Structure 1
Amino acid sequence: MEEAHAFLERHPDVQGIDVVMPDFHGIGRGKIIRRHELDSLYRNGRGMPGSLFGQDVAGDDVEESGLILVDGGADMRVWPLPGTLGYLPKVGRGQVLVGMCEADGSPFEVAPRTALLNQIARARAAGYEPMGAFELEFYLVDRQTGPNGRRMPATYALTGRRSMQRNTMSVDELDEMSPLFEAIYEAAAASGLTLESLISEYGPGQYELTIRYRDLIRAADDVVLAKRLVRTVARRFGVEATFMAKPFGQEAGSGMHLHLSLGSEGGRNLFADQPDGSLSPLMLHAIGGIRKTIGDTMLILAPYRNSWRRFASAVYSPASDSWGVENRTVALRVPGLPGATRHFEHRVAGVDANPYLVGAVTLAGALDGIRDQSYPGPAAEGNNYEAARPADLPRSWIDAIDRMDGSDFVKRTLGARMHRAFVAVKRAEWLRLELDVSEAEWELYGFVV
């Protein structure tokens, strides 16, 4: 209650608060409440249907999920997540993340955040504190399509100029877009979100934001807040932010890299180098565990048909289970800087993936590897894109759906009910697109075959 009252005192002009619950897809479902309702939200929670987790990305019910009209479609309760209540300056409203709960107050078993909380509890029971941070890549595009009917990189907020060049790591490009990004940083500060480095990425109009390293559950919360914040600010500058994994077929895809380590209760990094300078055996076991399970988790790392386009070209998009030190062509990269801050980076997930589920399966694989003392194998060297893709990894979206459907590891990590619902939703999305004959197919095949 103190958090709610302090917010209202700091922002006497705020009349609306966005109540946001991330669904299977990481999409914020909820409502906008009025100022006088915030007190009640914190005291009594708010009703929302559990069937929101049984919907596809378009918001259509998927009956096979087992979540539609359960108990007559009665509402469940959502409650504010501490530390997520903030203010969006360009929007003029507040925003708070909420989590859905069971009748006894425990987290709803089908919510993705619950899966991550369960794995964090498992880690803590073993004496580990999971720490992490995500990097987000995304494109800024114009609202209107170009003369060819295709999307174009956004014009710069400062100059109104447009560049079709890559401008990789160009500081001048960041300066030309600086009014928009300064507004993003301002909104992040008002929301308690610590955004850090900004980079002009490899594709025209593509950028990357890093978020401060912290406890893993809050790191995943930060992704939901950051993506929504970037979208809302971009709209108010007349452009759109897209978090599709591969919005342009010939350009770089957008990833969501997870940096992960395990700390002790006293705050010591358990992945820190050994006294002789060698890598931590604990970290190597964690990498070994993830390598064994990565094939089962590809549907979570690449949840949409578009996600798989990112693997069609080897532009910093490693669709493999390889690992290496200071090598950006591998799936699991150990950054080269040695010392107490040592960690590894999981580079496979697209920016369209759900951060809670990515965190859950990554941590679960790491914990399995530590438990089993898994050997990660030799580190890859050189350009790993030139290596053959492992034969036991899914080759397509439907392969990934089938692989996850039969995965005991994912079922154990998510719980049987969430596992069933997630697979059913993704299979329904796959069928929806399979039945949709595209204009490209008409152009290619319609009158010649």
Structure 2
Amino acid sequence: MADAEARTLGECAKIASDNNIGTVACMFTDTWGIPRGKRLPLDQFLRGAGFSMAGVAFSWTPRSDILPTPWAEMDSEFRDMNLVPDLNSFRVAGWTEGLAVVMCDAIDPVSHEAIPMDARGMVKKSLAEFADAGYSVNMAPELEFHLFNDDWSPVSDQTLCYSMDRADELETVIGGIREALRRSGIDCEASNVEYGQSQVEINLRYGEALASLDETILFRHITKAVARKHGYHATFMVKPINGGAGSGMHIHQSLVDGSGENAFARVDDPSHPVTSQVMRDYVAGLLTHQLELQAIAMPTLTSYKRAEDYSFAPTQVCWGLDNRLVGVRCLTGIGPGTRVEVRWGAADANPYLLAQGYLQAGLAGMREHYTLQNISSGDPHADTSLRRVALSLESAVDTFSASPFARRVYGDMFVDTFTKMQHDEMAAFAAHVTDWEFKRYADIF
């Protein structure tokens, strides 16, 4: 929605009145990509003051444990930040009754600027850079998730990809998710049983980048809420079943120029597999900076159990056309639908942080005209010349922390804090005796 069409509190009040809304869920997303916030009575929301919360929410653990970080040291007094609703994102919460939801921006109460940890604020600035260059950005994150029964047992121990029989069996819950998305104003294009045991995919419609990212956060929230109502658990944990398939977050992207045309569909060089110079530069940027962004794309220890050769989770830095084994899949020759699909991301990544990295990598490629590496055809796993993704979170975080590109894109405060948060996660895991270790050793030694 353009600034000239910015929604007002009065328009929000009309939506609320038309839909019997009495409460507004005011939501922001922490660094882990987990939605946080407060519920405000409608009258309080319509006063327009927003609300305050402790800024440490951007540097605690996924379980809200507070450990010292550069963003919130133990002597920092853990001061408030202001959460300001973005009224353009106000919508009916279609998964329940009497509730609306709105996404919020995190603002420093002194400087009145976006705080340096707020990924949504980062994306807004990047989209403004694209606007200055004459482009708007469209996106569609594509996510998979796993369904479990109420006792956390998998709903299936078989791989039944695309099975219509299995889809019928699960239609009560999956259809419920689609309906809740529809009632929330989120366009769902399709759903299907996926490649892994108990795995499902629901595709959202392509659209303006910031709105699409907001809808991705809501999609994960809605999926879990509706699953609980039907006696199931849904999880976007990357690999919850040993031996099963991992869940990814593929982000489809394209640029629209000032005339409303898809810049990736241009024909500047008909002899090249990618005919658009803009698209070639954008893809070259994604490839150049992928390893620096891997800790953002794969932010948990479990993410690295997904990245296996021949698993459809890319393990090399490469690109191709309609090839599901590559990291960047270029879907060309389809007019307005021409786009890139970046396939490295894990389902538990923070969509805003991931988009921020991809946007800035693509923009760097467009500005610097990086050389695009050769296309990968057939089996990229057999090409030993390709760079491979890091095998561990520790290695990926070290690369991220040392990257001048990452520090320019995310800022020193974010990079240093994120690095500390990840080292805390790794230390907690290293200190824990796992079930595997107990079963492996307890009756032997």
Query: How far apart are residue 428 of structure 1 and its match?
Result: 0.9
In 2, Cα distance between equivalents of 1:25 and 1:38: 26
Taking a change above 3 Å as real, the CA distance of residues 305 and 102 of structure 1, as seen in their structure-2 partners, is same
Query: How far apart are residue 178 of structure 1 and its match?
Result: 2.0
Tell me the equivalent position of 2:293: 297
In 1, Cα distance between equivalents of 2:181 and 2:336: 28
Deviations along 1:64-116, one digit per CA (max 9) or x if unpaired, are: 23224676323221111233323334432332221111234432221011222
TM-score by length of 2: 0.92
Deviations along 1:94-150, one digit per CA (max 9) or x if unpaired, are: 3222111123443222101122222222222222212111111111111214xxxxx
Tell me the equivalent position of 2:134: 127
Q: Give the counterpart of 1:100 among 103, 106, 110.
A: 106
Q: Give the counterpart of 2:239 among 223, 240, 246.
A: 246
Specify the SS of the correspondent of 2:89. coil
In 2, Cα distance between equivalents of 1:338 and 1:438: 49
Given that 1:83 and 1:192 are in contact with CA atoms closer than 8 Å, whether structure 2 keeps it comes out as no
In 2, Cα distance between equivalents of 1:98 and 1:313: 39
Given that 1:51 and 1:69 are in contact with CA atoms closer than 8 Å, whether structure 2 keeps it comes out as no
Given that 1:85 and 1:191 are in contact with CA atoms closer than 8 Å, whether structure 2 keeps it comes out as no
In 1, Cα distance between equivalents of 2:264 and 2:394: 36
Identity across matched positions, percent: 26
Which 10-residue stretch deviates more, 305-314 or 21-30?
Answer: 305-314
Alignment of 1:281-296 (within 5 A): 281-296=277-292
User: 1:21 aligned to 2:23?
Assistant: no
Alignment of 1:363-378 (within 5 A): 363-378=359-374
Taking a change above 3 Å as real, the CA distance of residues 169 and 396 of structure 1, as seen in their structure-2 partners, is same
Tell me the equivalent position of 2:57: 52
Given that 2:308 and 2:315 are in contact with CA atoms closer than 8 Å, whether structure 1 keeps it comes out as no
In 2, Cα distance between equivalents of 1:412 and 1:337: 34
Query: How far apart are residue 350 of structure 1 and its match?
Result: 0.6
In 2, Cα distance between equivalents of 1:385 and 1:197: 30
Tell me the equivalent position of 2:378: 382
Deviations along 1:22-67, one digit per CA (max 9) or x if unpaired, are: 0001101112223332213xx1111112111011111112312322
Alignment of 1:138-177 (within 5 A): 138-145=145-152, 151-153=153-155, 163-177=156-170
Query: How far apart are residue 390 of structure 1 and its match?
Result: 4.3
Count of residues in Structure 1 that have an aligned counterpart in Structure 2 = 432
Tell me the equivalent position of 1:442: 438
Given that 1:51 and 1:73 are in contact with CA atoms closer than 8 Å, whether structure 2 keeps it comes out as yes
Give the CA RMSD over aligned residues: 2.0
In 1, Cα distance between equivalents of 2:124 and 2:416: 19
Which 10-residue stretch deviates more, 214-223 or 73-82?
Answer: 73-82
Specify the SS of the correspondent of 2:337. coil
Taking a change above 3 Å as real, the CA distance of residues 371 and 258 of structure 1, as seen in their structure-2 partners, is same
Tell me the equivalent position of 1:77: 82
Taking a change above 3 Å as real, the CA distance of residues 448 and 21 of structure 1, as seen in their structure-2 partners, is same
Letter of the aligned partner of 2:44 in structure 1? E
Given that 1:65 and 1:425 are in contact with CA atoms closer than 8 Å, whether structure 2 keeps it comes out as no
Query: How far apart are residue 188 of structure 1 and its match?
Result: 1.6
Alignment of 1:274-285 (within 5 A): 274=267, 276=270, 278=272, 279-285=275-281
User: 1:185 aligned to 2:175?
Assistant: no
Tell me the equivalent position of 1:159: none
Letter of the aligned partner of 1:79 in structure 2? V
Specify the SS of the correspondent of 1:231. helix
Taking a change above 3 Å as real, the CA distance of residues 69 and 82 of structure 1, as seen in their structure-2 partners, is farther
Tell me the equivalent position of 1:230: 223
Which 10-residue stretch deviates more, 256-265 or 177-186?
Answer: 177-186
Letter of the aligned partner of 1:242 in structure 2? T
Specify the SS of the correspondent of 1:138. strand
Which 10-residue stretch deviates more, 376-385 or 184-193?
Answer: 184-193
Query: How far apart are residue 277 of structure 1 and its match?
Result: 7.1
Q: Give the counterpart of 1:39 among 18, 21, 46.
A: 46
Given that 1:62 and 1:424 are in contact with CA atoms closer than 8 Å, whether structure 2 keeps it comes out as no
Taking a change above 3 Å as real, the CA distance of residues 348 and 100 of structure 1, as seen in their structure-2 partners, is same
Q: Give the counterpart of 1:5 among 3, 10, 13.
A: 13
Given that 2:12 and 2:87 are in contact with CA atoms closer than 8 Å, whether structure 1 keeps it comes out as no
In 1, Cα distance between equivalents of 2:333 and 2:230: 38
Which 10-residue stretch deviates more, 371-380 or 334-343?
Answer: 334-343
Letter of the aligned partner of 1:77 in structure 2? N
Query: How far apart are residue 337 of structure 1 and its match?
Result: 4.7
Which 10-residue stretch deviates more, 261-270 or 388-397?
Answer: 388-397
In 2, Cα distance between equivalents of 1:249 and 1:121: 43
Structure 2: tracts of 5 or more residues without a match: 1-8
In 2, Cα distance between equivalents of 1:362 and 1:246: 24
Deviations along 1:202-231, one digit per CA (max 9) or x if unpaired, are: 112211111111121111111101110111
Deviations along 1:327-374, one digit per CA (max 9) or x if unpaired, are: 000000012553343111000001100000110111111111111111
Q: Give the counterpart of 2:337 among 341, 344, 347.
A: 341
